[in-house]
Structure 1
Amino acid sequence: MQEGSMKSEIIPHDACVLVADGKKALLLRNIGTAYQLMLEVEQVIEASANPLSHEQGTDRPGRTWSGGHRSSVDETDFHSLEEQRFSTIVAERLETICAEGAIGKLVIAAAPKSLANLRHAMSENLSKRIIAEYDKDLVNLPIDEIQRHLLSER
């Protein structure tokens, strides 16, 4: 697998394509051929509302005392934590689908931060099914444009 690129990779018939960001994931299946993609939506997974971090936290940053010095503690990034949780939910859903035998080969196209979160959340069993990764946010594009992007990256 060539990370960050799909050059020379093909998406075979019946392979799944996960297109995701920190709030939405589409699980698509190639019902076409490797050279004429025809992606069909199998599942849409959406996160619950995730306000900006400053809208979620109301306290000032904490302070710590260490060795006679006081210093501030970084404020918790609730927005980022929620995106990580969403990636875990997506990985768990994919695990369930894998256990049912419905995913043989998997291509992932995700925003860079989401791709990193997904990699961290996936089991070894699921990771072995990945044939290509594409670090680009395509989740809000129409299916025909997603197909064009994936084909143009070969």
Structure 2
Amino acid sequence: MAKFDTKKLETGTWVVIADGEKALFLENITDSKDPNLEVREVKTQDNPPDSAQGTDRPGRMADNGPGQKSAFDETDWHQLAKDRFAEDLAEQLYKLAHKGAFKRLVIAASPKVLGVLRPALHKEVADKLVAEIPKTYTNAPRDQIERWLCADLAA
């Protein structure tokens, strides 16, 4: 295994593993050479597929030509719920940072979630952020997450 910046995963560093429907809050309770991530909290969201959430056809509007109509884009309720979950996650991280729950933070999330989460992070959280990993680890076992995390922080 390649060496990585040990300060990124030192003892007490929190790691948030997230996708649009699940977030794991983990804390490294050992040193950075052999991290042991302990679960602090699990947050989930029930997000059925878009077909189960939307029931209406997209709306129509009249075009300039005679008898022509165009359809509006259909709302992707499933993706909208994922975006809201990421925004709620940013708010929860702010509350935890404000309480002093963590001093250092690593976030590993799907690229889309990171794209929504990054601008929603409060400055107090962003200042504690030491690494972002644009990957989805949420359904992996914890020992596998620890190995992947070390490998990704080494890259």
Same fold (TM over 0.5): yes
Q: Report the alpha carbon displacement of residue 39 of structure 1 after superposing the two structures with TM.
A: 0.6
The correspondence for 2:54, drawn from 51, 54, 57, is 57
- Name the count of aligned residue pairs: 147
- Aligned equivalents of 1:12 and 1:33: distance in 2? 6
Percent of paired sites with the same residue: 41
Alignment of 1:70-81 (within 5 A): 70-81=69-80
Structure 2: which 5+ runs fail to align?
Answer: none
Higher alpha-carbon Rg: 2
Alignment of 1:11-90 (within 5 A): 11-47=9-45, 49-65=46-62, 67=64, 70-90=69-89
What does the per-residue CA deviation read over 1:60-109, in whole Å, with 9 as the maximum and x for residues that have no partner? Answer: 11122365563211000000000011111211111111111112111001
Alignment of 1:64-143 (within 5 A): 64-65=61-62, 67=64, 70-143=69-142
- Aligned equivalents of 1:127 and 1:71: distance in 2? 43
Q: Counterpart of 2:104 in structure 1: which amino acid?
A: K
- Aligned equivalents of 1:121 and 1:79: distance in 2? 19
SS at match of 1:19: strand
The alignment yields a C-alpha RMSD, in angstroms, of: 1.6
- Aligned equivalents of 1:148 and 1:64: distance in 2? 53
Check conservation: 2:4, 2:150, Cα contact below 8 A: no
SS at match of 2:24: strand
- Aligned equivalents of 2:11 and 2:64: distance in 1? 62
Report 1 or 2 for greater relative contact order, CA contacts < 8 Å, sequence distance ≥ 6.
1
